[in-house]
Amino acid sequence: MAKIFAYGIRDDEKDALNAWRASHPDVTVEYTEQLLDPKTAEFAQGFDAVNVYQQLDYTRETLTALHEAGINKMALRNVGTDNIDFEAAREFGFKISNVPVYSPNAIAEHSMIQMSRLLRRTKELDTKIAKHDLRWAPTIGREMRMQTIGIIGTGHIGQVAIKIAQGFGAKVIAYDLYQNDAIKNQGLYVDTLDELYAQADVISLYVPGVPANHHMINAESIAKMKDGVVIVNTSRGNLIDIDDVIARLNSGKIGDLAIDVYENEVGLFNADWSGKEFPDPKIADLIARDNVLVTPHTAFYTTKAILEMVQQSLSADLDFIEGRVPSIAVKY
């Protein structure tokens, strides 16, 4: 009987895990709410594979501990693999999978909702209404259909975002090093990022946080954008230089900002800071601004996405155990 041990299982994941377990009666699945680290790796002793989701790094020390526990199969319930020590993983012969597509709609919808909120100034309106100030002016919004929306990255998520923006009647332009035929046939691509920067009223990012994209939104690129540009980032925190962005918010070059990710979010996001000293003055500054929306890496967080993340990853674990290569195996 195949045996899988899952780490970091949250309450919202348990229904999906139990449903998968019920549909695979010949597989033993046990779990802990604790994250995988060098100490908890011993929980997997006697199992065939592990299932994980966490912001902690999968360090050489952690992978060594798993290896010593007899584990070399690991399925991630998330997309990102940049926190894995792949040199150690190769050395120990780890087979690894992730879940690259769980619900593009979840992230695309969130990005477009935040974009719309910025354009309609809902944060300011909410503050006014909470004070029982029910006057319209001067909190006047803009219509999505009047905007040119620049989509950077036209993978699964970017394609859904394009459809949503077009549903509002917006003009969409797009840029991607690897062009999609469906988007290309619509004539949406521009040839360079500089063209997109110059034309877009709103810019939304849907690209991975690979080294080539590190701090792609910086002082130099922002200078090429329209005055008052709106920037939305629900992809990876390292895509923007937060210091440059704050400086351009201060100058008015950036009119509005929505972020769901932050380069230094580990240990900050997904924690309750109420009644405590907030540890990051940059995020505190952004949260306090009427023209900035901050969410703590929750764009993915829907019931559909959680179901897919849990069940696809457990199926990948089982594939590894039974000698198959799952379609979502990570090539490294």
* Positions marked active-site: 236, 265, 297
What φ, ψ does residue 231 adopt, rounded to 5°?
-120, 130
**Mapping DSSP to helix (H, G, I), strand (E, B) and coil, where does residue 119 land?**
helix
DSSP state of 326: -
Using CB atoms within 10 A of its CB, is residue 299 exposed (0-12), middle (13-18) or buried (19+)?
A: buried
Please list, in sequence order, all residues whose beta carbon lies within 8 angstroms of the beta carbon of residue 277, skipping any fewer than 6 positions away.
Answer: none
> Which sign, positive or negative, has the C-alpha torsion 198, 238, 9, 314?
positive
Contact between residue 239 and residue 207 where contact means Cβ atoms under 8 Å apart:
yes
**Rounded distance between C-alpha atoms, residue 214 and residue 170, angstroms:** 28
Q: Using alpha carbons only, what angle is made at residue 210 by residues 204 and 212, rounded to the nearest 5 degrees?
A: 85
**How far, in Å, CA of 301 to CA of 106, rounded?**
7
Whether the CB-CB separation of 285 and 246 falls below 8 Å is answered with yes
Q: Cα separation of 200 and 115, whole Å?
A: 13
Is residue 162 within 8 A of residue 183, CB to CB? The reply is yes
**Torsion angle of the four alpha carbons 167, 109, 208, 312, in this order, in degrees rounded to the nearest 10:** -120
Tell me the chain's radius of gyration from C-alpha atoms. 22
Number of H helices, E strands in the chain: 12, 11
